Structure formats: structure tokens, C-alpha cells
């Protein structure tokens, strides 16, 4: 091999020039490899801002950490959503530093979406895209209503902090939250300033003389919402681009690979379950109530545990539920099991079990126990969770009663045979008197009738059933009909 190289070099007329060329090629390759390919992670932020979205974005950012210099792009298309979920996403984006993050507003970043967009290092908008209007609102009987200063103040502070971090006009950022702010633009030399109108009026005359070209850019009782041109003029948007590729080219990034992060099947299922949570809660609680009213343990109990388990496990995956909530729910299920298998009737154990179950479910829908006075929206979240869980309890109770009244008595008729072909129509069983009791006689329920049990009539303990209704122990009853050896009773009105 050495002889071959020696002979090859001997044939070269200018070996020094050849070696220099090899060195240049080597260092050229080193430089290109040093620059490498820019990895761009595009994370879609579309639809309602909710805890499932926050968990998805956190997972996507963790996956991108395999490339320390990766560029993170949030592709914004949202009207907003829950404030707590938006703040969680903001903290996730701030923790992504020192990596560069860009909010690319595809068509809209409204309300909580604007807050998320400002948490990125840079903002780029497509033509005709809009951003802004982050006033906290609630929905009343007469439509949406803007919440007061107590809610606006902490949001303004967050917008102000993000604006100063990225070099945006802080007053304009605050005007996205509060409609009472009137913002004017003034110039001082080559510098452009934005301030509240009342701050401008309070300036000494000497300072006012230094300012010129005063213009109102946000009128009072209006929230700042900017299109792509206004965002560019106000200093929020760095560029206007039709696509992410065009945006990267404008930023001077030519050699890049775009990785679009998509939701996994489990994350998509989680968002679906989150939307279906009220219905799953209602079905699960109704099934558990039916299990309490039926002897033994069967299909209703299994269905109830599955529905409630899906809700809780999904909240656990979203990071809202933890072992504390699981322990509370487990205690509730233990008390309900005692009510079904150990204690007769429905009493303290059943009530404690249902209450513990509801408390655990409420806590699993939020990342706090007691609302923080400095975060007033937590009170609204707690109230909403209480209404959701206890509303589901009430609807579950109504659903279970309807099932017991109209469906349960007909289940036997839906079961296929075989049946005996002969009937007892001509037998003595049609007598209105059996076991010494007759139709119309009155007594009390000796045991709980659900729907079968024992009654005490005229000093005699008799097996009896109802037409499907449940009758508590010691309730007054009367004989409704007698069919052979079967005594059918109903509740006697007081």
C-alpha cells in the first residue's frame, strides 16, 4: 500500500499543491458538518387551550431535547381557552430557554392564545392573521361578561413581564387584557413611545414639549387586537410570512429539516375523554347507584368503575391527578363496597363513600386544593369542577331512578326462553287470597324490598315483591295483587 501511495505521489507534478487541495477539502467538510442541519420542531397549537394541550406541548418539548440547538415553532390557530392551561404552557415555553422559540400565527392567536404566543422569543404572522383580545370573561344568562380588575390585574402583570422579556411595548400588551386603558403613541426624536392617555396628560409641560406626533392607537373601552400589519408596525411581529419555510428563509436559515410533532393516539384519546368527562361521570355514578340498589355485584358496578377509572386515569396522565386523589377515591369505593356487601340498606357508609368519591374527582380536575387569592381564576375553576361533579351526581341519580322505574321491570321480558308452554290460568293460583292475606290488606315492610323481601301483615311474616319500586324497611305497604303464592305489595300512602 505504501509503495502504491509513493508511486502515486511521484506521478503528481505538484505534490505540494495536491496536499493543499486535500487540506482545503477536509476543512471545508468540517465547516459544513459543524454548521449541520437546523432541526425545526413545529408544534401545532390548535383548538381549545386545555390541560390536554398543555401536556402535549410539554411532551413535544421534551422530545425535542435530543437536539440542543433545535428551533421550536408553535403554529398558532386558537381562540383560547382555560387560563390555568395557558399559564402552564407559558411556564413550559419559558423553561425551554436557551433554545430559540417562535410563535407562528397561522390565522389567529386570541385570548389565551395571545398569552402563549408572547411567551416565545419571537413572533411571526401570516398575512391577515390576528392576535390579541385576552380579557377574562364569564358567561351569564345575558351572554359573555368581562371580569373585573381582580381578574385582569394578574393577567396584565404576566403580559407586561413577557413583553419586557421580548422587547415588545408593555403598554400595548396590557391593552390586550384591559379595555379601560387608552393608549397613545408619541415620538421623542427618533424614539417611539406608547403610554396611557392619563399618563401623558399628567406629564409636566416641559416633558410634553419634547414629545410630538401624538396619536391614539387603542381607544378606551376597546381591547387591542392586531392584524399582521399592525403587529409589525407596533413592534410585536418580526416578519410576515406565508409559510414556515418562508419564515425560516427570512431568518437566514437555509439548511433545515422540519419535524412536525403530531399527537399520539393516547393523547388524542385523552382529549376525547376530557371532552366526554361529564357524560362518563354521569354514567359511572348512575351505575354505582344501581349497584347499591341491586343485590350482589354485577354489570352496573363493573361499568361504573370502568367509566370513573377512565376519567381519573386521564386526569392522571394530564398531570392534574396524583396519589392523593387516588387514595381519596379508593376510600370512597371501599365505603361503597361496605354498603353493598356488609351493611344492609343505604346509610352513612354509602353517603361517606359517595362524598369521598366526589371530592377525589373534583380534585382530579385541578392542580390545586385551595384556590390561591392571587390567582382569582382558580375560584372559577373550582366552582366549575364542583358543578360538573355534583351536577353529574344529580343527573346520575335521576337516570338511575328512570332506569329502575321503566327499564328494570321490563328486563325479564326481554330475556329469551325456553318457557313452559302450559299456563296456570285455570288453577287456584288466581285466587285473590293466598297465605291468609287478601288484596287491600295493609302492613309494614319487615325488610328492605328491592324489589323482593318480607312484609308483616296481620301478624304474619310473608314473602312479597313489588312491581319494580324499592320500598324502605318499616315503610307502610298494602297488598296490590295476589298471583298464586306470590304476594305483590305497593307503598301505602300516609
Q: Which of 49-58, 352-361, 372-381, 458-467 has the lowest mean pLDDT?
A: 372-381
Number of domains forming the structure of the chain:
4
Does 68 share its domain with 166? yes
Higher model confidence: residue 15 or residue 455? 455
Mean pLDDT of the chain: 81
In a domain, 190, yes or no: yes
Nearest to 350 by CA among 329, 332, 372: 332
User: Which residues make Cβ contacts (< 8 Å) with residue 459, sequence separation at least 6?
Assistant: none
Give the domain range for residue 210. 182-219
Contact 379, 371 (CB under 8 A): yes
* pLDDT of 307 strictly over 50: yes
Does 485 share its domain with 354? no
When pLDDT is averaged across residues 444-462 and rounded to a whole number, the result is 85
pLDDT score recorded for residue 30: 37
Q: What is the CATH number of the domain that holds 147?
A: 3.90.226.10
In a domain, 241, yes or no: yes
When pLDDT is averaged across residues 359-379 and rounded to a whole number, the result is 83
Does 158 share its domain with 296? no
Contact 240, 124 (CB under 8 A): yes
pLDDT score recorded for residue 226: 94
Binned at pLDDT 50, 70 and 90, residue 297 comes out as low
In a domain, 196, yes or no: yes
Between CA 215 and CA 238 the distance in angstroms is 23
* pLDDT of 430 strictly over 90: no
Does 62 share its domain with 108? yes
* pLDDT of 472 strictly over 50: yes
Q: Is 256 helix (H, G, I), strand (E, B) or coil?
A: strand
Domain final position from 411, 441, 467 = 411
Contact 433, 465 (CB under 8 A): no
Between CA 380 and CA 372 the distance in angstroms is 11
Interval 242-251: pLDDT, tens:
999 999 999 8
This prediction has a pTM of 0.68
Does 233 share its domain with 113? yes
pLDDT score recorded for residue 374: 78
* pLDDT of 432 strictly over 50: no
* pLDDT of 42 strictly over 60: yes
Q: What are phi and psi of 421, to 5 degrees?
A: -75, -35
Query: How big is the chain by its Cα radius of gyration, in Å?
Result: 36
Higher model confidence: residue 430 or residue 64? 64
Angle CA 126–128–132, to nearest 5: 90
Domain final position from 377, 411, 445 = 411
* pLDDT of 415 strictly over 60: no
In a domain, 445, yes or no: yes
Q: What is the CATH number of the domain that holds 434?
A: 2.40.50.140
Interval 252-261: pLDDT, tens:
888 999 999 9
In a domain, 164, yes or no: yes
In a domain, 15, yes or no: no
Interval 126-145: pLDDT, tens:
999 999 988 877 665 666 66
Does 172 share its domain with 187? no
Contact 301, 336 (CB under 8 A): no
In a domain, 9, yes or no: no
Between CA 125 and CA 240 the distance in angstroms is 5
Does 162 share its domain with 194? no
In a domain, 7, yes or no: no
- What are the start-end ranges of the E strands in 47-199? 71-78, 101-110, 122-125, 130-132, 137-140, 143-146, 183-188, 191-196
* pLDDT of 96 strictly over 70: yes
- Helix and strand numbers, DSSP H then E, in the chain: 17, 20
Does 336 share its domain with 350? yes
Does 57 share its domain with 109? yes
Nearest to 449 by CA among 406, 392, 411, 487: 487
Interval 150-163: pLDDT, tens:
788 889 999 999 99
Does 406 share its domain with 479? no
Nearest to 173 by CA among 146, 155, 188: 155
Does 139 share its domain with 156? yes
Binned at pLDDT 50, 70 and 90, residue 300 comes out as confident
Does 256 share its domain with 286? no
Binned at pLDDT 50, 70 and 90, residue 431 comes out as very low
Amino acid at each position: 500500500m505504501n509503495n502504491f501511495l509513493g508511486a502515486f505521489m511521484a506521478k503528481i507534478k505538484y505534490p505540494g499543491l495536491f496536499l493543499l487541495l486535500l487540506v482545503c477539502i477536509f476543512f471545508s467538510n468540517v465547516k459544513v458538518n459543524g454548521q449541520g442541519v437546523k432541526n425545526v420542531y413545529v408544534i401545532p397549537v390548535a383548538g381549545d387551550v386545555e390541560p390536554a394541550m398543555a401536556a402535549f406541548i410539554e411532551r413535544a418539548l421534551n422530545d425535542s431535547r435530543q437536539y440542543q440547538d433545535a428551533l421550536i415553532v408553535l403554529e398558532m390557530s386558537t381562540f383560547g381557552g382555560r387560563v390555568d392551561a395557558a399559564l402552564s404552557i407559558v411556564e413550559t415555553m419559558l423553561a425551554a430557554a436557551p433554545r430559540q422559540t417562535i410563535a407562528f400565527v397561522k390565522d389567529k392567536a386570541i385570548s389565551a392564545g395571545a398569552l402563549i404566543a408572547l411567551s416565545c422569543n419571537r413572533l411571526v404572522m401570516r398575512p391577515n392573521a390576528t392576535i390579541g383580545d385576552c380579557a377574562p370573561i364569564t358567561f351569564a344568562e345575558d351572554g359573555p361578561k368581562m371580569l373585573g380588575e381582580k381578574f385582569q390585574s394578574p393577567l396584565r402583570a404576566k403580559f407586561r413581564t413577557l413583553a419586557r422579556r421580548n422587547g415588545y411595548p408593555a403598554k400595548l400588551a396590557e391593552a390586550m387584557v384591559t379595555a379601560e386603558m387608552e393608549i397613545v403613541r408619541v415620538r421623542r426624536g427618533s424614539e417611539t413611545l406608547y403610554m396611557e392617555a392619563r399618563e401623558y396628560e399628567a406629564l409636566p409641560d416641559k416633558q410634553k414639549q419634547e414629545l410630538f406626533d401624538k396619536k391614539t392607537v387603542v381607544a378606551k373601552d376597546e381591547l387591542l387586537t392586531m392584524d399582521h400589519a399592525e403587529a409589525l408596525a407596533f413592534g410585536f411581529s418580526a416578519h410576515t410570512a406565508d409559510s414556515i419555510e418562508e419564515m425560516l428563509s427570512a431568518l437566514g436559515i437555509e439548511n433545515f429539516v422540519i419535524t412536525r410533532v403530531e399527537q399520539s393516539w393516547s393523547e388524542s384519546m385523552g382529549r376525547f375523554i376530557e371532552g366526554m368527562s361529564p357524560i362518563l361521570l354521569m354514567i359511572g355514578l348512575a351505575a354505582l347507584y344501581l349497584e347499591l340498589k341491586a343485590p350482589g355485584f354485577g354489570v352496573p358496578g363493573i361499568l361504573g368503575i370502568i367509566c370513573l377509572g377512565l376519567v381519573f386515569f386521564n386526569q392522571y396522565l394530564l398531570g392534574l391527578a396524583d396519589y392523593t386523589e387516588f387514595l381519596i377515591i379508593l376510600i370512597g369505593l371501599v365505603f361503597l363496597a361496605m354498603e353493598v356487601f356488609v351493611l344492609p340498606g343505604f346509610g352513612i357508609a354509602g353517603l361517606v363513600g359517595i362524598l369521598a368519591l366526589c371530592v377525589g374527582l373534583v380534585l382530579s380536575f385541578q392542580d390545586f386544593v385551595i384556590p390561591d387569592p392571587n390567582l382569582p381564576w382558580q375560584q372559577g375553576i373550582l366552582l366549575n369542577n364542583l358543578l360538573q361533579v355534583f351536577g353529574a351526581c344529580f343527573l346520575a341519580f335521576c337516570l338511575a331512578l328512570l332506569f329502575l322505574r321503566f327499564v328494570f321491570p321490563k328486563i325479564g321480558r326481554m330475556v329469551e326462553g325456553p318457557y313452559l308452554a302450559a299456563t296456570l290460568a285455570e288453577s287456584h293460583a288466581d285466587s285473590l287470597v293466598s297465605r291468609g292475606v287478601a288484596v287491600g290488606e295493609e302492613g309494614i315492610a319487615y325488610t328492605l324490598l328491592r324489589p323482593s323481601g318480607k312484609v308483616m301483615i296481620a301478624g304474619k311474616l310473608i314473602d312479597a315483591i313489588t312491581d319494580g319500586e324499592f320500598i324502605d324497611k318499616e315503610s307502610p305497604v298494602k297488598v296490590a295483587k295476589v298471583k298464586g303464592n306470590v304476594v305483590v305489595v305497593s307503598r301505602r300512602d300516609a
